[in-house]
Amino acid sequence: MVDPRHLESAGNPIMCKENDSSLLRRAFSALARVSKKDGALVIVQLSHAGRQTPISVNDHPFSCSDVPLESCMIKAGEPIPLGLDQIKAEVIDRFVYAAKMARDTGFDGAQIHAAHGYLLSQFLSLTTNKRTDEYGGSLENRFRIIREIFEAIREEIPAKTGFVVGIKANSVEFQKDGLSTEDAKEACAMMEECGFDFVELSGGNLAKPAWCHERESSKKREAYFIELAEKMGQMSKRPLSELQSVCDDIADLSNPEEVKNFLKFIAVITREIEKMNSERKPVFGRISYSNLY
């Protein structure tokens, strides 16, 4: 995450000026080094939760507009629209700082998270973006903040350095008046024109998660978003890669002892979080913050 006041959940790793330290940089460097020891490239995902920040973290989170989140998954506070003078300092500069920190600690690139209803996705979607200035209205205007983030990162870390900059974006929102397939296709064209090294397609948000479908056609369409990815791939100059299946934690699930160990671990973490909440202390991954609004 790029802002300690706008986390997705407790325990999120944070790359920002407020918590930057030699200790943290050594930890990130160790993570990058271990992850790359067998030759893999390691790319960090940079995100800002916007209105999807839990109320326990921030009761008045920033968003593009003041549309509140209604979700059965988390309780969120009343969002505050970012002013024009805040967009650079509170969003763009934070993504740039995090990307530079990722580069300096040995990561091979950064993925800008503009999907799943987080802040940049909120700017893209008409369900949340009600602005009437240069960051609202047309898709080009709603995409503006993403373009400015990419250009600001590339100004500090040029493509010739080999540092990868990709993006994760929604191909569908499963909401009335949400991002359409045509909008998503046009946005992908803008991402390619910007110079993003790759685009990962996903869908849904905390108001309408990708797994909560009412229609069978939606369930079929969601199947790793392959159908939508193929449609968008037809108008892209970049190669298309499809995720046909997922194989998750077979080794762990085949070992009953691992399940027991995991349950013990979760029990300890839950007790610690409950204790810290009862004592009105910040939970892991968060900092104390008195909201100014």
pLDDT tens digits along 84-111? 999 999 999 999 999 999 999 999 999 9
Nearest Cα neighbor of 97 from 84, 110, 85 is 110
pLDDT at 65 > cutoff 50: yes
* Residue 261 pLDDT: 74
Instruction: Specify the pLDDT at position 272.
Output: 76
Whether the per-residue pLDDT at 246 is higher than 50: the answer is no
| Domain range list for the chain | 22-246, 249-293
**What residue has token string 């802040």?**
119
Q: What percent of the chain has pLDDT over 90?
A: 54
pTM: 0.76
* The residue to which tokens 């509170």 are assigned: 90
| More confidently predicted of 230 and 242 | 230
**pLDDT grade for 263, boundaries at 50, 70 and 90:** confident
Give residue-wise pLDDT tens across range 154-210.
Answer: 999 999 999 999 999 987 665 566 677 788 889 989 999 999 999 888 766 555 554
pLDDT band at 292 (very low <50, low <70, confident <90, very high): very low
Task: Look at the domain 22-246 and name its fold.
Answer: TIM Barrel (3.20.20)
What per-residue confidence (pLDDT) applies to 285?
47
Least confident span in 116-120, 135-139, 193-197, 279-283:
279-283
